[in-house]
Structure 1
């Protein structure tokens, strides 16, 4: 049975945007890291068993900032995806919850841009903290809905 075109929960839109942003950060990471590796004389074909910390020692910090942010985008946002799925399934992925989801995405994108370019930790922390508060509000709202 086909699902009607507009029968989705609006909270899935910010979810899709954050996934797209995460993939954009992956592309930016690769576009930055490969030239930095070439410049540092690191041959990709000879690397065996290395990890992110090894790249931190071999590459300039600014080249690594994008990779660090990509890692951050596959950490806490997984909770965002899960709680948005709860809202979508419970029928509460509308109104204030959608606004909160968009606010979370805005804070995460701002966090990404800041970390990938300027990376002053104090500002980055406040952006992370703000997004965490929004995630907490989304979670609290979901708890009210499902209990």
Structure 2
């Protein structure tokens, strides 16, 4: 593997104020197709994490952004049964695609709780809005907020 290089974070919403908290050295305000379209071969990464989820195109862009012999990690919940990807690009660049689901949810939730307790500043930055499930207006507000690109919104929770 190459030495660590600056880690870009690509988002069409301005997330500059959150970049350092999440380990992003190079915040890029662009759509993933525009970003990967101008990415030089020397700037392709050994490890690319696609954490948008729910989008066929962003997985393809992550594959395009990966250097020869690199690995793409795909996180999120797939909305579609099948995601078409370029097997030619995967094979010619000797890429690895890794994904999966949490099998032992109880253990993982316990580990996540411990991690969150040890890093309260991260959780406070990541979970930006909480709405009460008992209040229908709150639930509607959560949906409306999630539907708009807002720089101050990262993740939303609906709690009891």
TM-score range, shorter chain: under 0.3
Please state which structure has a larger fraction of its residues in strand: 2
TM-score under structure 1 normalisation? 0.22
TM-score, scaled relative to structure 2: 0.21
Higher relative contact order (CA 8 A, sep 6+): 1
Structure number with the higher helix fraction is 1
